[in-house]
Amino acid sequence: MATVRLLMLQKALLHRTTSRSSSQLLLRPPSIPILTSLRAFSSAAALSPPSTAVVYDLHGPPDTVTRITELPPVEIKENDVCVKMLAAPINPSDINRIEGVYPVRPPVPAVGGYEGVGEVHSVGPGVKGFSAGDLVISSPPSSGTWQTYVVKEQSLWHRIDNGTPIEYAATVTVNPLTALRMVEDFVDLNSGDSIVQNGATSIVGQCVIQLARERGIHTVNIIRDRARSDEVKEKLKKLGADEVYTESQLEVKNLKSLLINLPEPALGFNCVGGNTASLVLKFLRQGGTMVTYGGMSKKPITVSTTSFIFKDLSLRGFWLQKWMTSEKATECRSMIDYLLGLTREGKLIYDMELVPFNNFQTALEKALGKLGSQPKQVIKF
């Protein structure tokens, strides 16, 4: 069965090479001999090394439909860059793509993953500005990062500072960039203003706290009830959080009575939904805005009539992938450089666990929540 699946995958990917797009990986059919050596700027056609990849032939539960297999070499064309992947995260959106429920997803069979970091292995003869050993990320991000070698046209790679820790380079685009855009795009905040958010322990939540601190903006943070919640609160406060509350602590009639030394928040972020989203709304000041960027509880947002009529609240949504197709996306690479600069300075940190590629299944189980609360899983190739 594995042989049949591999043939199916190779046939599908061969078809894709005839209609190449920036969001799809190019794989060469196995009938082409593998070169014994690979040289940058060679005038002869060159091939990448074979790639070990996480693929799925069908949509469904990720721990059921994914498998690790060998893929054939890819031709490195005139303006192509071949990258040896170093690390790539398992994001919730990656899981949703495999499940077939994400709004934008590659056709199956497909290679998993959407963002990641690697080093330049070799380049086509027409490539300028990239050399072997350069640290690069896919920009804009695209499907297929859960494999050991990726070949794409040079304009789809962004060279970054080689001193950047690979776990931060691998994860900078989806979560930290979401946090940055939400802090800056929806409400004109000034130093001394406040933000309220749920999901504060997520990577986006941790980044919001630190980016707000850099701007002199206060944060009120909501976390779910859990064991050792005091330790979690202390950890978030070390990142710069002003206040951290569990959901049960907010079962009071007047939430704003808790804001003794802070102004009422003008902006709120929701990634949970349900009752926790309602808590964010209750904290907001007159004319405040709540931005929803996730729905981890899978429960709808319920808004009281009085919130609209008497508080004039606004509800907005943010989807990074849509934002990156807008005119603002041209600024994306400078924003990524800014964020990575903060990581190198120790001003932007967040929880991750680097996991060897051969332990992918364990990392996937952790990402699926089957082993309890876990930090972001980052595959190290």
- How far apart, in whole angstroms, are the C-alpha atoms of residue 32 and residue 37? 14
Residue 380: enclosing H or E segment and its boundaries?
Answer: strand 376-380
Candidate list 102, 114, 149, 245, residue with the active-site label:
102
Indicate the burial class of 128 (C-beta count within 10 angstroms; 0-12, 13-18, 19 or more). exposed
Instruction: Tell me which residue of 20, 82, 7 sits closest to 49, measured CA to CA.
Output: 82
Q: Is 338 a catalytic residue?
A: no
Cα–Cα dist 248/224, whole Å = 8
Phi/psi of residue 100, nearest 5 degrees: 85, 15
Instruction: Yes or no: say if 72 and 91 are a contact pair by the CB < 8 Å rule.
Output: no
Q: Which long-range contacts (CB under 8 A, 24 or more apart) does 246-249 make?
A: 246/222, 247/222, 247/223, 247/275, 247/276, 247/279
Question: Under the phi-then-psi rule, with left for phi > 0, alpha for psi from -120 to 50, and beta for the rest, what region is 336?
Answer: alpha
Over the range 307-341, which residues count as b (16 or more CB within 10 Å of their CB) and which as e?
beeebebebeebebeebbeeeebeebeebbeebbe
C-alpha 241/C-alpha 73 separation (Å) is: 48
Task: Give the helix/strand (H/E) hosting 85.
Answer: strand 80-89
Which residues are tagged catalytic? 102
